[in-house]
Amino acid sequence: MAEPAPGWALRVTGLSKQFGRVTGCQDVGFEVAPGEALGIIGESGSGKTTVLRCIAGDVEPEAGTALLRRGPDVVNLFALDGPERRALRVSTIAIVYQDPAQGLNLRISAGGNIAEPLIAAGWRNFGRIRARARELLARVDVPLDRMDDLVGTFSGGMRQRVQLAKAVANNPALLLLDEPTTGLDAAIAAGVLDLIRDLLEETRVTALVVSHDMTVISMLSSRAVVLRGGRMVEAGLTDQLLEDPQDAYSQQLVAAARGTL
Amino acid sequence: MTVAELAASAGTGEFGHLDEQSKREIRNALLTAVAVPGYQVPFASREMPVARGWGSGGLQVTLAVIGPQDTIKVIDQGDDAGVNAANLRRLIVASTGVSDTTDARAASIIQTRHRVPEDPLGPGQILVLQVPVPEPLRGVERDMRELRRMHAEADYSRIWVSLYEDLVRNGVITQSTGYPVLVGGRYVMATTPIPRWDVPRLHQAGFLSLFGAGREKRVFAVPPHTSVEPLAFEDVPFQVERTEGASCLLCGAVEAYLVEVPARHGWICSDADWCWRRREAADG
Amino acid sequence: MVSEAVLTVRGLHKQFVIHAIGRQVPALRGVDLTVGAGQHVALVGPSGAGKSTLLKCVWRSCLPSAGEVWLRRRDSTAVDLAAADDRAVVEVRRHDIAYVSQFLRPDGRRSVLEVVGRAAIRRGLEPAGATAAAAAALRRVRLEEELWKTQPAVLSGGEQQRVNLAAGTLCPPRLLLLDEPVAALDSGHRETVLALISGLCRAGVSVLSVFHDLDAVRLLADRVVVMRDGQVAAEGSPDETLEPASAGGAR
């Protein structure tokens, strides 16, 4: 039997970010256990993407701490400077963007996109880089005969798969997913969702999944928080949030999603 | 009364076309460049009597370091007689009165637009290179701030990725000039304008190399006995260009950089002076 | 404090507060209940009595409004699921409780074998042994091997139910929650599943079930809890609480 999870892997407290007069997020806090996927539910403008981007290091918050546990060390993501953050993005934290074009270089090959994090992590053997890229592409069901094709020639679903392969290339400790299947055709999205779910279970990576789509949240996460207007409105087990939401707004969201579940 | 006579009587005799202030500024930049091998140092590039893109950077470097006791050699591709080389040489000699030579062994300063001379250069010799594009990362990034950051953090992944792509698309790395190298284990430098053939000759060299880019307003340097390692995957070693079975139609050399002569269906040495001396020695 | 029973429910209340219409719907109005080791307790009663809600309060997909839900875990520690934090409940769900509901959608577009195999991995089995364990579980519910490679979504209701059962029972939990496990099955498969459940109890698994099928209750249950309007109306052995079978199984 698997051992019980020792404490938390990520602990966020008091996360706040203003964009001028618009509240990005206000006093958001949560914990994620090692190997767990936490869902962040909200409509557009809820602050869910802001929270993710702060943790990823793309945006700097005004207040808050984000403690990440890595082995015996604990690091506050918001206290790091640029180079330290970037180093973390190579080895420890990976993000999958809603638009794969944001996380990939469309003008280089699929293999080249995967080579980039490997090279950033110090890989210098061409044969081994190719082998690892092949392994990852196979894992995400991208046909190997497309490995050397430019990602710009790939469909949206394939691009997203390449983005996933790139994100897990260096076995990150924390994986951030921002609306990973939004914008994909329903059938394609279902396949990508299955893939993400399998990857999360296999790699046992700690993950944050941001989505407005309850199907995505319920497939991928065991616990979730609901954001509205930048604030946390409710938190709980994912199936409990969907079955028995307590907050009025949560109830509205779930009722609206009922038809799709 | 001519303008020249007026100038002479005013006692502002300029040695080497540039005023002392300009030379000092360029020398300061060059000292920084030598102190930080491979690092691109900005300098205030002056208007020169050659248009930008025609060696104005190299020229400014030469004029900043040249003294009355120096001997200058100027080559185009490998050839002293090229039009460009001739113009530059005339300008340098006219404004300094230094002696010039085509023999690389006898020159103290060699200004080149392409080749490193075949003769091994040593201590006391300076190779000045005319650089069109100094930035090795230009192919992978355009944003100035990002470029500065990449050099500052030694974050060179993107150029490695471009080598990966090159290998994947072409089976071999096809970059022929400007091959990226790691200098002194720290900065990645473009080896423009020299061909791949000459890149290994910068490694742990006995001579000083100074690179001048006039249009881009940068100088950089490789001091003697500095490591210069071409970026290469550990399992795909760096290789120089080679044409199997080719030899010089004139002197028969095989282990030299050769250029093709289509009309003659053959090859001749790029380093014209070196080739001529070989022939002289053979006949001799 | 807490009995030796595997599950002790005390004073459980559940009110659904529906904000959109400003109404409170009472679903459980003070329920007490125990399930001992290896015991099968069946909940019976009319629709709306609160039977499924009770199961969900134990599984914690519903949040109790008041009361205690004590579970004695495999390692003998006791946890009140009504008060436990989410992470503790995730742990309990992984190791100690399983829940098979007729409404649980088989997940994803993976094959039956993969779905059950992944359930095994989630419960702690090593990936190497998971497929074999999944195959064994599918055989126990007598799902034909030729169906193992298909997606659950294209199976019949009864076949999907058996896949759910296989996934929920392949690593026998301390407490098994079953919501109408044989409702969609034909008589042959129904017998297989009833035998499977009975076998689990003999092996020490505690079961709390909701059954419409009173014959099944008579067959399997050690005790019956009759619920009405969110409360326990009667409790006892099947003979004590249920009408004799000859009366058509009516309450």
pLDDT at C246 exceeding the cut of 80: no
pLDDT at B248 exceeding the cut of 70: yes
Contact C210, C56 (CB under 8 A): no
When pLDDT is averaged across residues A94-121 and rounded to a whole number, the result is 96
Give the chain C residue nearest A239 (alpha carbons): C61
Same domain, C3 and C87: yes
Q: Is B251 a catalytic residue?
A: yes
Same domain, B177 and B264: no
* CB–CB contact A243 C62 (8 Å): yes
Q: Which of A108, A113, A79 lies closest to A96, judged by CA?
A: A113
In a domain, C84, yes or no: yes
Please indicate whether chains A and B are in contact, defined as at least 3 beta carbon pairs under 8 Å.
yes
Same domain, B66 and B197: yes
Which one is the CATH code of A10-92+173-260: 3.40.190.10, 3.40.50.300, 3.10.20.70, 3.40.50.920? 3.40.50.300
Same domain, C29 and C46: yes
Q: Residue C218: which domain range?
A: 1-96+174-246
pLDDT of residue B127: 97
In a domain, C69, yes or no: yes
* CB–CB contact B235 A109 (8 Å): no
pLDDT at A3 exceeding the cut of 50: no
**Tens-digit pLDDT profile for residues B205-222:** 999 999 999 999 999 999
Other beta carbons within 10 angstroms of residue B235's beta carbon come to 12
* CB–CB contact B234 A111 (8 Å): no
The 3-state secondary structure of chain A reads CCCCCCCCCEEEEEEEEEECCEEEEEEEEEEECCCCEEEEECCCCCCHHHHHHHHHCCCCCCEEEEEEEECCEEEEHHHCCHHHHHHHHHHCEEEECCCHHHHCCCCCEHHHHHHHHHHHCCCCCHHHHHHHHHHHHHHCCCCHHHCCCEHHHCCHHHHHHHHHHHHHCCCCCEEEEECCCCCCCHHHHHHHHHHHHHHHHHHCCEEEEEECCHHHHHHHCCEEEEEECCEEEEEEEHHHHHHCCCCHHHHHHHHHHHHHC
- Number of cross-chain residue pairs from A and C with Cβ atoms under 8 Å apart: 64
Which residues 151-210 of B are in CB contact (within 8 Å) with A?
153, 155, 157-158, 160-161, 164-165, 167-169
ipTM tops 0.95? no
* CB–CB contact A5 C87 (8 Å): yes
Tell whether A133 lies on the interface with B, counting CB pairs under 8 A.
Answer: no
Q: Residue B270: which domain range?
A: 247-284
Question: What's the domain count of chain C?
Answer: 2
**B183 vs C186: which has the higher pLDDT:** B183
Same domain, B207 and B270: no
In a domain, B260, yes or no: yes
CATH code for the domain of C190 = 3.40.50.300
How far is A205 from chain C, CA to nearest CA, in Å?
Answer: 14
Read off the pLDDT band of B262 (50, 70, 90): confident
Domain termination residue (choose one: C123, C151, C172) = C172
Of B85-89, C155-159, C201-205, the range with the lowest mean pLDDT is C155-159
pLDDT at C251 exceeding the cut of 70: no
In a domain, C251, yes or no: no
How far is C62 from chain A, CA to nearest CA, in Å?
Answer: 5
Read off the pLDDT band of B5 (50, 70, 90): low
Chain B residues within an 8 Å CB radius of A111: 164, 168
Same domain, C86 and C179: yes
Please state, in angstroms and rounded to a whole number, the distance separating the CA atoms of residues A9 and A5: 9
When pLDDT is averaged across residues A147-163 and rounded to a whole number, the result is 97
pLDDT of residue B157: 96
pLDDT of residue B121: 94
Read off the pLDDT band of C245 (50, 70, 90): low
pLDDT of residue C248: 43
When pLDDT is averaged across residues A165-188 and rounded to a whole number, the result is 94
* CB–CB contact C63 A1 (8 Å): no
Selecting from A2, A197, A202 the residue whose C-beta is nearest the C-beta of C124 gives: A2
Q: Which of B59, B56, B65 lies closest to B30, judged by CA?
A: B65
Read off the pLDDT band of A139 (50, 70, 90): very high
Same domain, C47 and C112: no
In a domain, C51, yes or no: yes
What percentage of chain C carries pLDDT values higher than 90?
Answer: 61
Q: Is B275 a catalytic residue?
A: yes
Domain termination residue (choose one: C157, C172, C187) = C172
Read off the pLDDT band of A4 (50, 70, 90): very low
**Residue boundaries of the structural domains of chain A:** 10-92+173-260, 108-171
Tell whether A80 lies on the interface with B, counting CB pairs under 8 A.
Answer: no
pLDDT at A155 exceeding the cut of 50: yes
Question: What's the domain count of chain B?
Answer: 2
Same domain, B49 and B170: yes
- State chain B's mean pLDDT as an integer: 89
Please indicate whether chains C and B are in contact, defined as at least 3 beta carbon pairs under 8 Å.
no
pLDDT of residue A129: 98
Q: Which of A247, A183, A249, A172 lies closest to A211, judged by CA?
A: A183
Tell whether A119 lies on the interface with B, counting CB pairs under 8 A.
Answer: yes
In a domain, B148, yes or no: yes
**Tens-digit pLDDT profile for residues C58-90:** 999 999 999 999 999 988 899 999 999 999 999
In a domain, C143, yes or no: yes
Same domain, B73 and B191: yes
When pLDDT is averaged across residues C108-117 and rounded to a whole number, the result is 85
Look up residue C26 and give its two tokens.
């009472």
Same domain, C46 and C168: no
Tell whether A186 lies on the interface with C, counting CB pairs under 8 A.
Answer: no
Chain A residues within an 8 Å CB radius of B165: 108-109, 112
Tell whether C24 lies on the interface with A, counting CB pairs under 8 A.
Answer: no
What is the pTM (predicted TM-score) of this model? Answer: 0.89
Which residues 28-87 of C are in CB contact (within 8 Å) with A?
56, 60-63, 86-87
Read off the pLDDT band of C3 (50, 70, 90): low
**DSSP H helices in chain B:** 3-9, 20-35, 56-65, 83-96, 144-152, 157-170, 272-283
Same domain, C64 and C184: yes
Please state, in angstroms and rounded to a whole number, the distance separating the CA atoms of residues A260 and B7: 89
Other beta carbons within 10 angstroms of residue C63's beta carbon come to 18
**Tens-digit pLDDT profile for residues B224-237:** 999 999 999 999 99
Q: What chains are in contact with A, requiring at least 3 Cβ pairs below 8 Å?
A: B, C
